[in-house]
A and B are shown apart, each in its own frame.
Chain A
Amino acid sequence: MAGIVCRTASRIISSQVSCSSSVVAVRHSHWFTSMLSLKTSSPLRAEPKKKKKVDPRREIMMKERLKKKLKRLEKVAPELIPIEDFITPAKCLDETRIRDAPKHSFEESERRALLLKEWSRYKYSQHQTEMDTINEALEAQRQALDELKLESEELYKAAVSPDTDIFPFQHEGPSYTPPVTNYEAPEGKYNDITRVYTQ
């Protein structure tokens, strides 16, 4: 309806204009019926804006493309974190740090060899006594459990069931000197220079 009105109005105006002036407005595009006429582009004709449907789709498409690119980037295997212990620091390969090799007398090397042999014998006997003690304790426990089984099945089952409260178990081991009672350790400050790697 509005379109019909516009068209008739434009015809009237154009006819008037063409009569009055020799300069005729040139039509550069079929959408613009006349340069001097009302701008009757599609928004004014009250056609629903076509771009509204296309744009959200385009935006959604763009987002999906970005997401796919991100996924492709993420699928690349992450760089392995270097294990610092396995890399010999350059300091250790420095030649200025090599000590002079000491020369030992014959007696000294003999003494060392004999001491090492003595030590291996000592350690062997220590290991044997440890193993014997442990086996003895295990045997005592096994016999105790056998006796308990003879006594009552219930108590045996309760004894053999695993103990969940014992772990995590913590105990301070022996130190060189006993702890000083009411000792206040001095406040210290340290700079933590460990390297933290993120994948």
Chain B
Amino acid sequence: MAAPFTRVYRPLWRIITTTTLNKGVRNVSSTRQQWSAQNVKTAGVASPWALHGAVCLQRLPVVSQDRSPIEDEFMELMHQMELERSLLSDHELRLLEDAARMSRKQEEESDEEEEDYRDKDIFTAQDLEDIWEQKLKQYQPAQRSQGVDEKGVSSSERCLAESLILLVKKDVGSQKLWLLPQIQWQTGETLRQTAERALASLPVGADLKATFLGNAPCGFYKYKYPKDIQKEGSVGAKVFFFKALLSGHKHLPLEKNSFAWVKKDELQDFLKPEYLKQVRRFIMAL
């Protein structure tokens, strides 16, 4: 029973310091009695907030970001400076020797056949470079960017250079809202297990392999139910978000209208402003 009292004490102290400087002592004591009475009642029953666990599933970037103009310039400058300050490598020395030998041959036109029969002079350094270029051309890498939104919002292959968050369309009360996948907490499990259940309970949940980052929630959102649904003992709900990284999936296409993989900038098109405000805090898009 000491616990509820300590819980009351902190906000009570704030109230006392901020508002009761002008009020009389009698008032303060009466408010204190009211507070403790209230809290004892609610502690006995249950907290009025329903708990939900939600998962913020992130697909990390697959491809490196494009360089900004200043980064490009600086990269060029660094390459130049490094080249100027370096020593000549073996390959470059060989190139210079070959060039010198060629010019000597052309000027003198002497018979230097003995040199040609040494093993290393079958290929000049320039020839080696050409051979290597040819080999490189034989390999066709995949394309970096697939154009502007060729894939729909529900594919996880879009925007490979940025991290994407999974959103789900859900019925909340009477409306259909875009949310991070969430589910109600059941007694006997930790909130992290609730979040894992939330991910598994999605229709494609079995395909999405996720690594949860730690037991602690990364953010929370609290909302009150509209007046008509508010009963005694349930004022609203608190949603605790857990971060997870997508580790592997089978690239199955998701339903367009109920799933979306969204960048941080696009979140505002999907989420409600209050919800967005809380969610943006822990989504890092660097």
Contacts and interface: CB of A to CB of B under 8 A. Distances in A.
Interface in A157-171: 158-163, 166, 169, 171
Nearest to A177: B141
Interface string A108-151: 00001001101100100000011001101101110111011011
A102 interface: yes
B47 interface: yes
A166 B210 CA distance: 11
Interface stretch (A13-21, A69-77, A93-101): A93-101
A105 interface: no
Contact of B217 (A148, A152, A162, A177): A148
B87 interface: yes
A122 B68 CA distance: 11
Contact of B220 (A92, A96, A143): A143
For this complex, into which size category does the number of interface residues on chain A fall? 35 or more
Contact of A122 (B51, B70, B190): B70
Contacts of A159: 190-192, 215-217
Contacts of B88: 96-99
Interface in B152-167: 160-161
Nearest to A98: B87
B215 A176 contact: no
Contacts of B172: none
B47 A151 contact: yes
Contacts of A94: 87
A29 interface: no
A94 B63 CA distance: 41
A59 interface: no
Contact of B281 (A140, A161, A180): A140
Given A151-B238, A176-B64, A163 B142 contact: no
A112 B77 CA distance: 7
Contact of A130 (B7, B62, B286): B286
A188 interface: no
B61 A174 contact: yes
Contacts of B241: 144
A118 B70 contact: yes
A153 interface: yes
Interface string B172-189: 000000000000000000
B144 interface: yes
Contact of B191 (A98, A155, A175): A155
Given A96-B93, A180-B141, A171 B245 contact: yes
Nearest to A136: B281
Given A97-B93, A140-B219, A174 B161 contact: yes
B143 interface: yes
A122 B70 CA distance: 8
B142 A177 contact: yes
A1 to B, nearest CB: 92
A163 B29 CA distance: 45
B63 A177 contact: yes
Contacts of A169: 211
B161 A140 contact: no
22 contacts: A96-B93, A97-B93, A99-B84, A99-B88, A112-B81, A137-B282, A140-B278, A141-B216, A141-B218, A145-B217, A147-B222, A147-B238, A155-B51, A158-B191, A159-B216, A160-B216, A163-B214, A174-B64, A175-B63, A176-B63, A177-B63, A178-B143
Given A144-B216, A155-B190, A166-B211, 11 more contacts: A96-B88, A98-B88, A115-B74, A144-B218, A148-B220, A159-B217, A163-B215, A174-B60, A174-B65, A174-B161, A175-B64
Interface of B: 3, 7, 47, 49, 51, 60-65, 70-71, 73-74, 77, 81, 84, 86-88, 93, 141-144, 160-161, 190-192, 211-220, 222, 238, 240-241, 245, 247, 278, 281-282, 284, 286
